[in-house]
Amino acid sequence: EKVSLRDDYVTKPDRNHESSPNIPMETTSAESASTSSQGKYHALPEGDILLHLGDFTANRTTKANRKQHFQNFDEWLSLHPHPVKIVLRGNHDPQHQVKFQKSKALYIHGNQPQSLEIHGWKFTLVPSNSSTNKSSNQPSKQKGGSNVLRIPHCDILATHEPPHEVLDQSISNHEHVGSKMLRHAVEDIMETKSNNDEDTSSPSDSNKKPQLWLCGHIHEGRGVQYAQFRNDDKSLSYEGTSTTTTTTMVLNAANANPGRARGVVNGPVVVDLIYDP
3-state secondary structure of 144: coil
d(CA 213, CA 168): 13
Domain containing residue 235: 2-274
Q: Is the pTM of this model over 0.85?
A: no
User: What's the pLDDT score for residue 28?
Assistant: 30
pLDDT tier, 20 (very low <50, low <70, confident <90, very high otherwise)? very low
Q: How confident is the model at residue 171 (pLDDT cuts 50, 70, 90)?
A: confident
pLDDT in tens, 132-168: 766 544 555 554 455 578 898 899 999 999 999 999 9
DSSP state of 204: G
- pLDDT tens per residue across span 203-228: 345 567 899 999 999 988 999 999 98
Helix ranges (DSSP H) in the chain: 63-78, 180-187
Q: How many separate domains does the chain show?
A: 1
- Could you tell me the end-to-end alpha-carbon distance of the chain, in angstroms, rounded to an integer? 7
**Residue 239: predicted pLDDT:** 53
Q: What's the CATH number where 54 sits? A: 3.60.21
